[in-house]
Amino acid sequence: MKKRYALLAALSMILLLTACTNVHSSTTPPVTSSESQNPDIPNSTESAAPENSDVLLSDKYVDVARLAVLDIDMEDKYVFDDRTLALEDSIDNELERLVYQYYYDVTSAQFEDLMDLIGGNESLQVAMENEGENYCNGIYMSEYAIHELTTLTVEDLPTISQATKKDILGKIDTFGFTEYAVVQADVSLKHNEASLSQGPQLGDGRYMKYYLIATTTDVPQFKMYEVYWEDFFVA
């Protein structure tokens, strides 16, 4: 009888540990290609996209040539206390303006405005919330320099990596994009001392980032749905 109780107690303990593990997993954001999970780790997916992925990708891609050209004057540099945002390029359309606005809101610590730029991707929403929390803890970028903003065209899609193609196709299906595009940002960044003390894998330097921007039936305004890093294109 004692052996039976001991066996039941051991089984109960195993079930309890399993439940705790499941709760922890459900409250931890899933690892995705988002900058949200860790901006220092580039996107990677092992499975390849389907053979007709180029056709599926181009089906809802924005006709860049038909985007309205913006006639706006932007300051070359903004300074907010010890944080600086520099712009070395023009902003040609509303998609590029959205990406620029992201950097402006982060640099100026306007995180409520920043959240309004983000679409329904919960992982990316968490990432933006983390930006605000890090700032409150004194951890942030002291400098951003935007060297160039470029809206990719449908002709660029075949040269995207298979992993990225699969991820974009998944988001088209998940969120029901009515149209979408990708803006490439050539950006230099510099950490403040508190951020450097955290030992970031991605240090000061110049990087290419790629912003997935889309509309849906429920949200007809362009919003940001994903951020990709250096391995966006085929090497």
Q: What is d(CA 234, CA 230) in angstroms, rounded to the nearest whole number?
A: 10
How many other β-carbons are positioned within 10 Å of the β-carbon of residue 76? 8
In a domain, 155, yes or no: yes
* Structural domain count of the chain: 1
Residue 196: which domain range? 32-232
In a domain, 71, yes or no: yes
In a domain, 9, yes or no: no
User: What are the structure tokens assigned to 228, written together?
Assistant: 């990709």
In a domain, 143, yes or no: yes
Decide if pLDDT at 107 tops 90: yes
Decide if pLDDT at 2 tops 80: no
In a domain, 3, yes or no: no
Residues 6+ apart with CB under 8 A from 38: 201
In a domain, 4, yes or no: no
Q: What is the pLDDT of residue 98?
A: 98
Q: What is d(CA 31, CA 37) in angstroms, rounded to the nearest whole number?
A: 6
Decide if pLDDT at 71 tops 60: yes
Q: Which of 218, 220, 211 is nearest to 102 (CA)?
A: 211
In a domain, 41, yes or no: yes
Give pLDDT tens digits for 130-180.
Answer: 999 999 999 999 999 999 999 999 999 999 999 999 999 999 999 999 999
Look over the chain and give the mean of its residue pLDDT values, rounded to a whole number.
82
Which DSSP helix (H) or strand (E) runs through 54? helix 53-59
Full-prediction pTM beyond 0.75?
yes
Decide if pLDDT at 40 tops 90: no
Residue 98's domain is classified under what CATH number? 3.10.450
In a domain, 94, yes or no: yes
